[in-house]
Each structure stands twice: as structure tokens, then as C-alpha cells.
A and B are shown apart, each in its own frame.
Chain A
Amino acid sequence: MRIGLEVHVALPLKSKLFCSCSSSAEEPNTAICPICMGFPGSKPMLNERALGIAKSIAAALNCRLNDFISFVRKVYFYPDLPKSYQITQIGGAVGTGGYVQTASGRVGIVRVQIEEDPARIIRGDDYTLLDFNRSGIGLVEIVTEPDMTDEGGMKEFIIELKSILYYLGVDIDQEFKVDLNVSTSGDRVETKNVTGMANIVNALRYEIKRQGVMASKGQRIGMETRSYDEAGMKTVQSREKETEEEYGFIYEPDLGEYDMRKVETETAVYASRIAHEYAKRYDYSESTLRELIMFNREALALIDGAKGGHRMQNIVNAVELLIKYRKTGINGRDFESMLGLVENGAAVRKETIEKIERGEGISGYSAVSEDEVNKEIADIIRSNARLLEDYKRDRKVLNFVIGRVAKKHNADPRYVSEQLRKVLRDVFKVE
């Protein structure tokens, strides 16, 4: 069996792709203008912020990046499409020929492209409504090779992709929409517009079963386009279907070419790879780490900052406490204090964390002489010449010093942290 996906996700943009209308209006048909309504005389003007995000995604998915990109018109008649064509990309896409690495193998990426969303269709019993707020919202479409071979592999791919997108700032709470291609016999069957993981899995299971039954009866499956019936949890034959022949792609003459060479990208974060690496390095459970960091920037940052000076189990416990109490935005120093308590086996309640954040003293620490602490801090720094160099680039490098000294003397990490700053300033002349 071969499974391929065309994934659509909304780009994190405040305004639409080709006009300045808001991309987040709620009252239907309030964020509309001549451009996104396709009124005669209007022209698209590209929101160039889309280029950086799309290029970052393409780079994260290991694509070849095109130096110049262009757009095409894909023509079809449907009431949600104001111009009766969608502005999208094919040949001049942002990236082509990439891949996503998952535990069960590589999934090839055919291309990453930018396109506009049509209007939202709301169907009632005997009426249909259209909300053009969605018309013209910027999407990125990610087209995969049919490289997935079973449900597990598909799920792995989707989670991996979502995590990569999450770390690039693409809102994954907005459920993403896929066109699901399933071929059990050689004939490709496409199920369009399936939204959310549960529906995607159900659509896949239904198709496998349906195609299996047909094959067992000796019937030819045939290439076709289907749609997903969410209530019935099944795929149904589409009444309308367009073919590549009918789309009649032409180059979008209102936009021209865009030079991508100077467009800056954000560095990708592969949380699954980090979980794997830390699990090995700190001899810890990979699945627990994955669960913590795949979709949690803050957890990853806290673990990264504390990983040298503490046992992974304690760090994970502390992060889990924060998640449990829904505490966000804690800084590295307060997190050190918290870790100190966790390591001492003290009970950390929500109030305890709030106290730490307010800078109030926490009982249970021993008093330690300033000279002794300062000498110890200075010794650790002197013992590793590179530390100071690294510190200039990344302030988190010295967090482990706080942890180590605080632990040894059962001192308040907040106090140790202040001393560290003094030592850096007075002894090493570093601010």
C-alpha cells in the first residue's frame, strides 16, 4: 500500500495573502475587500512575509530552494472561489524534492508551495452560506511522495511534520486539512479535504477496507476523487471532479517573479531528534522526552538550560510540575530554584512556584558564607577556559554552575545566581 498526502496549513500572517484584510476576523464577511472578493479591476498584492515563512518550512523539510518563485492560476468553477481561479504554485514553488525523517523511514516531499484559501462554505439543511473572511488567507501546501505504507507510518509523519511546523511558529491548533491519496492496487484514489488527525485516520481505514473488498471481488478500483463524510465516517464519491486537463494552469501575470535568495529563514528545530539524542546522552526515556517537548517550546528551553547541572529525571519532574500547574513564562533562575527544591525532595506546590517568582525566600536552604560560594564559582569557571567564551554567546551556559554550587551547600539557587553575577563582574569583568 502507498499513502501520499497533500497537507494545507494556514500561514501565521496577520493579514491575508494578497490584500491587507485581517486573517482573523470572526463576524462573517467583515474582513473583505475588492481584492479578496475578486471584484473586477482589483489585483493581488503579495504579503511578502509569506515568503520567509514558506521558505523556512521548505528548508526545514530539506527541500531544494528555488532562487526565483512565481505563481499560477488554477481555474475551476465553485461558489467559494471568487475569481473562479485559485492563485497557487507548481513549477515555481518555494521548495521541491525534500524529505521528512521519521522513525520508520523517510517520507519524500514533492514540493512546498504558497496558495490562497477559498471562502468558507457553511451548509444547512436547505441553504448554503458563504463566509469570505477566509477567502485569500495564506496557506502553505506540502505535497508528499506516496512513501507511507501503513497507518502507523502516516501518523508518525503527521506528528513529525506538525512538530516541525510548530517550532516554526505555524499555528497547529488550526486543524490542518489534507487530501489523502491511497493506493492499494496501483490505482490512486484521492479523498479531498479531510480535517484533523482522527478524520484522516478514519478516512484511511475506510479506504483500505473499501478497496480491499473491491479487490477481493475482483473489481477494478480505478482512479477517482472522493470526499470524506465526517458523520458517516466514510469516503463518498465526489459529484464534481476536475482533472489536470481542465485546471488549465497559466502563469499568474499580475505577480511576476520573486527573488528568494535574500529572504531569510528561521532555523528548524527537530524536537524528535533532540528527544532521541537526550534520551541516549542522559540515559532517559525517549518517549517521555518526546511527549514533553514535541509541542512545547518552553519545556524544551528549560530542559536545554538545566540539562548540564541536574539529573534529567529531576528536570523532567520540575517541567511536569509546571505543566500540571499551568505555569508558563518562568525564567531560568527561578526554574533553578525550583529544581533545587525538587532535588531536595521538597513538596513543590503551585504556591511555592509563585513564591519563587515573587522573589520571596523559601525555607529549607542553609546559610552559606559568601566567600566560600564565590571561590567555588570562580574555581569552576577557571577550570574550563571555554566557558566564558561560550557564555558571551549563550547566557544559559553557566546555569549549571548555579545548580552545582546550590546543591552542594543546599543553598538557595537564587542567592547563588546573584553571587555568580557578582563574580562574573568583579573577578572576570564580564557583565
Chain B
Amino acid sequence: MNSIEEFNSLEKKESYYPRLVEELKRANGEFHAFNLINEGIRAGFPFSAKDNICVRGFEATCSSKILKGYVPNFSATAVSRLGSAFGFLGKTNMDEFGFGTFGINSEEPARNPFNSDYVTGGSSSGAAAATALMKYHVALAVSTGGSISSPASFCGVVGYTPTYGLVSRYGLIDYGNSLDRIGIIARSAGDVRHTCGLLRGTDRYDSTCVDHNVASDGKKTLFVINQLNEVLDERIRAPFESLLGKLENLGYVVKRVDLDIIGKAVGIYYIISSAEASTNLARYTGFKYGYQYGRFTEYYNDFFSNARAEFGIEAKRRIILGTFVRSASVRGKYYDKALRARRLLIDRMKGLLKDGYIISPTMPIKTPKIREVRELTPLQSYATDALTVPPNLCGFPHISFPFDYIDGMPIGAQIITDHFNDDAIIGFVEEWERHFKYRFKHNLGAL
């Protein structure tokens, strides 16, 4: 029985939801998982939405000052599709507009429920932290380059990123439209399976959303890509090798293969995602919603430039980078070339994925402290996306799941499969969960 069915079968007092809200508010003072808590929740299995997913009548800020006060008058399709069996609990913290790997690009970064000195991962930082805090809860999270896998791994929860196009993006505030995916962070693969079934299906409000059968074509071969293994921190490599041993005992066959082009993925990703992001962020002029600088009597150029000064440093960096790579004189060298390289990478990875899954640790490093990642240069930070970027760039479904604990902190592995074979890897993680028990430090809302 998944925790959603369990929750629904249990007797709940009238005071359940107000008490949950009170506990959550207290915990949020320490962990900053939520940007907004819905005190009005009175029924349903609690779910949260990352703060870039629109919920009608609730502020959607993307953790950005420039969107302060933006209250959408429509809900994302994913939110509507959950239906009345789910109750909206609040909006979760994130890196501003999704720009970040650790959750620190937010005014008040979310903190890891296992130890609040440590990062949660990002950019769906609050979604993963909230999941690690609460016994009964699922999070709608969003991935562009690894924003579901990364925090799921650091917070010791399950993060599912579906095939691109399987879940409508309508109501998701765009970062990189050709990459953005709404997915699920939960405490078990069973909860993921239950929830994702509700979200899938075509939507006339999102042209890229397709009606496609989802397969459950289980594989027995696990590909380990040598070029990805090389970037691992030693303290990650050893437990990962022992995970592979355990999986071999379960009947899986591990094959080590070369895939040269995968080393280019991070570069390709930052070109395409920044190019798209810089156009998506162009609309924030402080004019019709969100942060308004000064009065309408200003010259338009001054008016919007002053408002846009409020973007955080990473958002500004992506706008500048993205605007550069799509400028006419260099577009061929960067943007167009990156699009071609992406196609090539999809073909190469697809070649492997017809015969097996690709497996790796989710993150190449141990969970860092918040203090430590503040010291990283942008390039050092981007380099930690090496393992999560390839499936994101190519639209492949993938799941990060906890497989070990070192120094009291969880570490996760990431399993990737071919397009529309999502249910196979959900099944893979369900099988893993029969042999490995996840640990949680908090169980808010337990019954």
C-alpha cells in the first residue's frame, strides 16, 4: 500500500490539518521549505507545488523579487488534474526561476532536513525538503537540467522526472521551455506511481504535451558510462560500486561503456537553457504584474531596466549568457550548434537505452554545506550537473532514489530509461525499495 492509500484509509481528527499547518510553520522557520503555506487546507492528501507552478489565487514568485505580488488567475494543468483527493498545502522554495543546483539562489535558502547546515540541492529545494519533513505529502517539482534529481538525492527522497511532453507544462513559469518538466518528489516509488498517473495526458493549452502510451518494458542490463564515472568524488564512487554489487545480486547485469559526447552535455545544456531563459525572462519589465519600479511617467527604457535590476545575480548571469549565444553574429557558433549536438546526444543515448537502463550516482559529490557552495565559482557549480544534465537535455525519464547514507547524510542514484518507458523505472525503484529501507529524521503529520 502506498502512503496515499494508507492516509486515505486512516481515521483523521478535524484538527489534523490545522495541526499540520502549525507544525509545518514551526519547522519552516528552520528549514525554509515553503514560500507560502496554505492555512486553509482542510481535506485531501497534502501536496505542495514548487513556486514556479501556478495555483489560482496564490502568489507565484519563482523565489524572485521581480514576481512579488503576482497572483495568477489560473491553475497549472498538473495542479487541476490532481483533483479533490489532494489538498493544496503550499508553494515550495526554489532557486530563483530554477537557476541553481543547490537551492542557495533564493533570498532564504531551504535547508536540509537531515542537517540544516547542509544544502537541500536545487532548484526544487523546498519540494525535496518538504517531502523529507512530512510523512504524508507529495511535491509537484520541476526539472530543467536536474532540478528534481539533485534535491531528491541530497534530501534522501524519490524524485521522478517524466518523459518530456508527458505532463502538461501549462501554468508552469518557463525557464527553458524545451527542457522544463513537471515531475514528482515523494517518499516512495509507490506514491510516485499513484500521482503521476493522474498528471499524464494531452492538454490543448500545451502544444508540446502529447498523448502517448507509457510502457513498462523492464530491462536487466545496467549501463555505467565510463566518462560519467570519472567525474565522481571518491567518497561517492565506493558506495556506488557497492550499490552495483547489490543490484547484480538482484539479477541485473552491469555493463561499462564509453559515450564520449556525454562530456559535452553540460556545455550544450547551458547554451540552450540560457538562450531560452533569456527570452522567457524578457517579459519581466515590472509593467503589468510583479515588482514595479517607479512610476509610469518614467521613460519605458528606464522603467523596465530599473525593474530588471532586481533579478538575482545568477538570473542576470543567465540572461547575459543567453542573450549572447543567440546574438546574430555568434548564433551559428553556439545556439545552432548546441541544437545539433543535442540531437546527436539523443541518438547516442537512445542507442544504449533500447538495451538497458543507464545508472549513475545522482550527484558526483557528497552533500555540501551551504557555506561551502557559496564559495564555488559558477563553472564549478555547473560542473556538478554532469550526471543530471544528459537525461534532461534529451527528454529521457529518470528517477533519483536513495541508496546509502554517509556521515548521516543520504546519497542517491539516478536510473534513466528510453522515452515513454517511465513505468519500467518506477517498477525498478519499487523493487529496490523491497530490499532497502529509506530513513527519515522528521515525520510531521504522522497518524
Contact in complex: A41, B54 (CB < 8 Å): yes
Query: In terms of DSSP, what is the predominant structure of the interface of chain A?
Result: loop
Contact in complex: B173, A77 (CB < 8 Å): no
Contact in complex: A84, B206 (CB < 8 Å): no
Contact of A84 among B53, B54, B170, B282 (CB under 8 A): B282
Contact in complex: B335, A83 (CB < 8 Å): no
Contact in complex: B73, A45 (CB < 8 Å): no
Which of A45, A75, A85, A253 has most chain B Cβ within 10 Å?
A: A253
Nearest-neighbor residue (CB-CB) of B72 within chain A? A41
Chain B contact residue count (CB 8 A cutoff): 45
Contact in complex: B173, A40 (CB < 8 Å): yes
A45–B287 alpha-carbon span in the complex (Å)? 24
Contact in complex: B204, A45 (CB < 8 Å): yes
Interface residues of B in 98-147 (CB under 8 A from A): none
Contact in complex: B335, A40 (CB < 8 Å): no
Interface residues of B in 170-229 (CB under 8 A from A): 170-174, 176-178, 204-208
> What chain A residues lie within 8 Å of B3 (beta carbons)?
none
Contact in complex: A83, B207 (CB < 8 Å): no
Interface residues of A in 74-109 (CB under 8 A from B): 75, 77-79, 82-85
B16 within 8 A of A: no
Contact in complex: B173, A41 (CB < 8 Å): yes
> What chain B residues lie within 8 Å of A83 (beta carbons)?
282-283
Summed over the interface, the residue pairs from A and B with CB atoms below 8 Å come to a total of 104
Contact in complex: B335, A34 (CB < 8 Å): no
Chain A contact residue count (CB 8 A cutoff): 33
B74 within 8 A of A: yes
B289 within 8 A of A: yes
A249 within 8 A of B: yes
Flag A204-248 by CB within 8 Å of B: 1 or 0 each: 000000000000000000000000000000000000000111111
B95 within 8 A of A: no
Contact in complex: A246, B282 (CB < 8 Å): no
> What chain B residues lie within 8 Å of A186 (beta carbons)?
none
B13 within 8 A of A: no
Query: In terms of DSSP, what is the predominant structure of the interface of chain B?
Result: loop
Given A244-B328, A245-B328, A248-B327, residue A73 in contact with residue B279 (CB < 8 A) = yes
A274–B204 alpha-carbon span in the complex (Å)? 44
Contact in complex: B279, A34 (CB < 8 Å): no
Contact in complex: A85, B282 (CB < 8 Å): yes
> What chain B residues lie within 8 Å of A73 (beta carbons)?
279
A254–B173 alpha-carbon span in the complex (Å)? 12
Contact of A40 among B67, B301, B331 (CB under 8 A): B67
A246–B67 alpha-carbon span in the complex (Å)? 25
Contact in complex: B282, A77 (CB < 8 Å): yes
B276 within 8 A of A: yes
> What chain A residues lie within 8 Å of B287 (beta carbons)?
79
Contact in complex: A77, B328 (CB < 8 Å): no
Q: List 14 A-B contacts (CB under 8 A).
A: A37-B288, A41-B54, A41-B173, A42-B170, A43-B207, A44-B207, A75-B282, A77-B282, A79-B287, A79-B300, A248-B326, A253-B208, A254-B206, A256-B208
B residues neighboring A (CB under 8 Å): 53-54, 60, 62, 67, 70, 72-74, 76, 169-174, 176-178, 204-208, 275-276, 278-279, 282-283, 285, 287-289, 300-301, 304, 323, 326-329, 331, 335, 339
A residues neighboring B (CB under 8 Å): 34, 37-46, 73, 75, 77-79, 82-85, 243-251, 253-256
